[in-house]
Amino acid sequence: MNPPEVPAPDEITAPWWEATREHRLLVQTCVRCAGAQHPPRALCVHCGHDALGWSGSSGLGVVDSFTVVHRAPRPELEVPYVIARVRLAEGVILLTRLEGRDPGAWAIDDPVRATWVDLDDGRALPVFVPAGPSPTTEPEPAPEQRGS
Ligand SMILES: [Zn+2]
């Protein structure tokens, strides 16, 4: 897997990053309106309140959109790889990487689940893999041999 480029935590994102050390995916949640948002911000994007808490995410979502990268922005990256927006069950969008499937085989609305890529500094980065067989990718039952 390619080494991801990861920003340093700041005072707003630090709790989110700390949870990744335990492979817990958090979603910032407003104390007043219960709205969820990502990435973490100082104010609620829904109501402007500054009392924000954290809730745990199921790590389940669907592919909202994706791009297969064929030309690496850095020479050490292996191509192709897949950059995606994943919509979590909690309603927020994560900009992330899709893994575990041929890059050309992904489709919008594919169900995905979070898995973790550990970073050198102890933090971890959520990436998403197929969340199990979807109706379109279930193996066909073996065709019966029929004599004629
Ligand atoms: Zn709010």
**pLDDT tens-digit profile of 97-146?**
999 999 999 999 999 999 999 999 999 999 999 997 654 545 556 666 66
Query: Are residues 129 and 112 in contact, defined by beta-carbon separation less than 8 angstroms?
Result: yes
Give distance in angstroms: CA of 128 to centre of ligand 1: 28
Give distance in angstroms: CA of 115 to centre of ligand 1: 29
SS3 105: helix
Provide long-range contacts, Cβ within 8 A and 24+ apart, for 47-53: 52/28, 53/28, 53/29
Give distance in angstroms: CA of 30 to centre of ligand 1: 5
Give distance in angstroms: CA of 66 to centre of ligand 1: 29
pLDDT surpassing 80 at residue 29: yes
Cβ burial, residue 28 (10 Å; 0-12/13-18/19+) = buried
Give distance in angstroms: CA of 1 to centre of ligand 1: 37
What percent of the chain lies above the pLDDT cut of 90? 78
- Classify residue 44 as left (phi > 0), alpha (psi -120 to 50) or beta: beta
Please enumerate in sequence order all residues whose Cβ is within 8 A of that of 42, keeping only pairs 6 or more positions apart, or say none. 12, 50, 52
Please enumerate in sequence order all residues whose Cβ is within 8 A of that of 91, keeping only pairs 6 or more positions apart, or say none. 36
**Radius of gyration for the chain, computed over Cα atoms and rounded to the nearest angstrom:** 18
Average pLDDT, the chain: 90
Token output for 109: 């609305």
What percent of the chain lies above the pLDDT cut of 70? 86
Query: Are residues 70 and 60 in contact, defined by beta-carbon separation less than 8 angstroms?
Result: no
Q: How far from chain centre, in Å, is Cα 64?
A: 10
Give distance in angstroms: CA of 26 to centre of ligand 1: 17
SS3 125: strand
Higher pLDDT, 122 or 1: 122
Give distance in angstroms: CA of 87 to centre of ligand 1: 19
Give distance in angstroms: CA of 37 to centre of ligand 1: 9
Give distance in angstroms: CA of 17 to centre of ligand 1: 22
